[in-house]
Amino acid sequence: MSQPRGEIEKRGLWSSGLMFILAAAGSAIGLGNVWRFPYITGTYGGGAFVIFYLGCVLVVGYPLLVTEVVIGRSARKNPVGAFKTLSRENKFWTLVGFLGILSGFVILSYYSVIAGWTLDYFVKFVTNDFAGKGRDEIISAFNQMISDPARQLTWHSIFMGATIGIVIFGIKEGLERWIEILMPLLFLSLLILLVYGLVRGDAVGALRFLFEPDWKKLVLTKSGEFTPRPMMEAMGQAFFSLSLGMGAMITYGSYLGDEVRISRASAMIVFLDTLIALVAGIAIYTILFANKLAPAQGPGLTFKVLPLAFVQMGGVGRVLAICFFLLLAFAALTSAISLLEVVTAFFIDDLKLSRRWATLLGGVGIYLLGIFSALSYNLLKGVHIFRDKDGNPMPVLDSLDLLATNYLLPIGGFFIAFFLGWFMDKVEKKRQFLEGKGSERLYKIWHFLIRYITPVLVFILLVFEIDKHLGLGIFE
Ligand code: PHE
């Protein structure tokens, strides 16, 4: 697979291993850490869910991240092109690449709506909307916001517009430099919230909720029946948070220089992503319990709870809130770019479109699909697609999120692992792993996991989930 250095450079390369880590961390760190992780942890009862999630990150997430980067750097193509090349034009594997494009399409459509919420809260704090308001008013501001269709559509349009603009004009490179400054600032503002929460909030309550396992909650519905859904959600969250299963990391790996040690770069990304999710989670739950709220707040959790702390902090809190929501919107933007980039790269390579038309076609299509999500808590309130683990119907946005994280990403991830473990050229994958002084022993462990453990675990959970929740009833 080795291509001449000049060719590779023409296609584009990260200026250093560090730039790759920053860009990949920019894709990984986003709403998944600050919005999704805290809220689904609340939905599934904390403790056992968090521990199972951390296990999934180690056994499924990390090995798969290494796998995607190995595939990307080896093929130096977008996911569809990569599978086409590495499988020598096999139709089936090319289809797996397509599945990734579809996931990117679905995820970005609702991701943009949530990102819009952060912009709305940014403006709320700029205009000092919460001044003098009490707990219940602050919390109900969330429901007011999502039940306003015009407002939802406006923010969705603005966020998708920004994402499309950046991907079209290729000012991505400039933006990546900002990651270096803005990501640490986001982290810093989360740390301030964490310290505030630990000191002024209910630290014991939060830590017990997040780390004290009650294993029943991981496998049973409210009425005491077996359900694979919480385990599936934990695994899906590992995929979502690390941007795995759809080829985003294949794409980013395709720009990675040959001298970088993939196992180490990937470990950094996993560490940062998990750290930020945990910090956000602990901060939010200290404040939540101090305000005597229930963890199962649904997708609004972060937006209901954090403003409570910001308002309680007074004037400093307002400044911190303005910075925080802006930084979060930026983190969402760097993730959104990676989602749109996968779709765009595919249209460029395979439909032979120019970058401008490829981005517009993908971006506008995603925008249109996103309208359903923007309207899902107002005009489309009565429309439901999937059901949750207790059988309650779910709105459009929640359903699309479930479809992507519980089905599309894990199915994609399964095939990606399966491909590398069983079909990819042995010499090539080993060469990629060992490049930059990779360890032989770690290679053996990784290869064992990706061959026998990762795909098997994903497969088993998928079969149970599909059986139980799509109603096949094989195991009844
Ligand atoms: N990882 C991103 C986040 O946590 C979301 C994402 C998923 C980005 C899949 C790209 C691919 O916000």
Q: Could you tell me the CATH number of the domain that includes residue 336?
A: 1.20.1740.10
Q: Mean per-residue pLDDT for 32-44?
A: 97
Distance, in Å, from the CA atom of 402 to the CA atom of 447, rounded to the nearest integer, reads 30
* 183, amino acid identity: M
Which of 16-20, 368-372, 406-410 has the least mean pLDDT?
A: 16-20
The closest residue, in CA terms, to atom 7 on ligand 1 is 243
Contact between residue 31 and residue 237 where contact means Cβ atoms under 8 Å apart: no
- What pLDDT digit, counting tens, does each position of 387-397 carry? 888 888 999 99
Distance between alpha carbon 117 and the CA centroid of its chain, in Å? 16
Whether residue 180 has pLDDT greater than 90: no
The closest residue, in CA terms, to atom 11 on ligand 1 is 243
Q: What are phi and psi of 61, to 5 degrees?
A: -65, -55
From the CA of 399, how far away is ligand 1's center (Å)? 17
Whether residue 289 has pLDDT greater than 50: yes
* Number of the ligand 1 atom closest to the C-alpha atom of 331: 12
Number of domains in the chain: 1
Query: For residue 107, is it within any domain?
Result: yes
* Number of the ligand 1 atom closest to the C-alpha atom of 31: 12
Residue to mutate (ligand 1; options 37, 78, 103, 241; most atoms within 8 A of CB): 241
285 vs 91, higher pLDDT? 285
Query: For residue 80, is it within any domain?
Result: yes
Tokens of 7: 């060719």
N-term to C-term CA, the chain: 48
Which DSSP string corresponds to 267-315?
A: HHHHHHHHHHHHHHHHHHHHHHHHTT--S--GGGHHHHHHHHHHHHTTH
Q: What are phi and psi of 34, to 5 degrees?
A: -100, -30
* Number of the ligand 1 atom closest to the C-alpha atom of 335: 8
Query: For residue 412, is it within any domain?
Result: yes
From the CA of 26, how far away is ligand 1's center (Å)? 9
Query: For residue 342, is it within any domain?
Result: yes
From the CA of 33, how far away is ligand 1's center (Å)? 9
From the CA of 215, how far away is ligand 1's center (Å)? 28
Based on DSSP, count helices (H) and strands (E) in the chain, helices before strands: 24, 2
From residue 442, give the alpha-carbon distance in Å to each of 63, 66, 271, 438.
11, 11, 17, 8
Which of 262-276, 304-318, 349-363 has the least mean pLDDT?
A: 349-363
From the CA of 136, how far away is ligand 1's center (Å)? 32
Residue to mutate (ligand 1; options 335, 339, 344, 411; most atoms within 8 A of CB): 335
H/E run at residue 37: helix 37-43
Whether residue 2 has pLDDT greater than 60: no
pTM, to two decimals: 0.94
Number of residues that make up the chain: 476
From residue 302, give the alpha-carbon distance in Å to each of 211, 265, 358, 382.
19, 30, 34, 24
Rounded to whole angstroms, the maximal C-alpha distance in the chain is 66
* Number of the ligand 1 atom closest to the C-alpha atom of 33: 4
- What pLDDT digit, counting tens, does each position of 209-259 carry? 999 999 999 999 889 999 999 999 999 999 999 999 999 999 889 888 888
Query: For residue 476, is it within any domain?
Result: no
Q: How confident is the model at residue 400 (pLDDT cuts 50, 70, 90)?
A: very high
Please give the pLDDT value at position 455: 96
* 273, amino acid identity: D
From residue 349, give the alpha-carbon distance in Å to each of 79, 81, 84, 341, 345.
10, 8, 12, 12, 6
Q: How confident is the model at residue 273 (pLDDT cuts 50, 70, 90)?
A: very high
Range of the domain at 79: 5-470
Query: For residue 475, is it within any domain?
Result: no
- What pLDDT digit, counting tens, does each position of 181-217 carry? 888 899 999 999 999 999 999 999 999 999 999 999 9
Distance, in Å, from the CA atom of 252 to the CA atom of 93, rounded to the nearest integer, reads 20
From the CA of 112, how far away is ligand 1's center (Å)? 11
Q: What are phi and psi of 138, to 5 degrees?
A: -65, -40
Query: For residue 216, is it within any domain?
Result: yes
Q: How confident is the model at residue 1 (pLDDT cuts 50, 70, 90)?
A: very low
Distance, in Å, from the CA atom of 311 to the CA atom of 326, rounded to the nearest integer, reads 17
Distance, in Å, from the CA atom of 321 to the CA atom of 377, rounded to the nearest integer, reads 25
Query: For residue 268, is it within any domain?
Result: yes
State what percent of residues in the chain have pLDDT above 90.
74
Contact between residue 240 and residue 36 where contact means Cβ atoms under 8 Å apart: yes
Q: Taking CB atoms and a 6 Å cutoff, what residues make up the pocket around ligand 1?
A: 27-28, 30-33, 107, 240-241, 243, 246, 248, 335, 338-339
Residue to mutate (ligand 1; options 108, 243, 403; most atoms within 8 A of CB): 243
* Number of the ligand 1 atom closest to the C-alpha atom of 35: 12
What mean pLDDT value characterizes the chain? Answer: 92
From the CA of 235, how far away is ligand 1's center (Å)? 14
Distance, in Å, from the CA atom of 86 to the CA atom of 258, rounded to the nearest integer, reads 17
From the CA of 241, how far away is ligand 1's center (Å)? 5
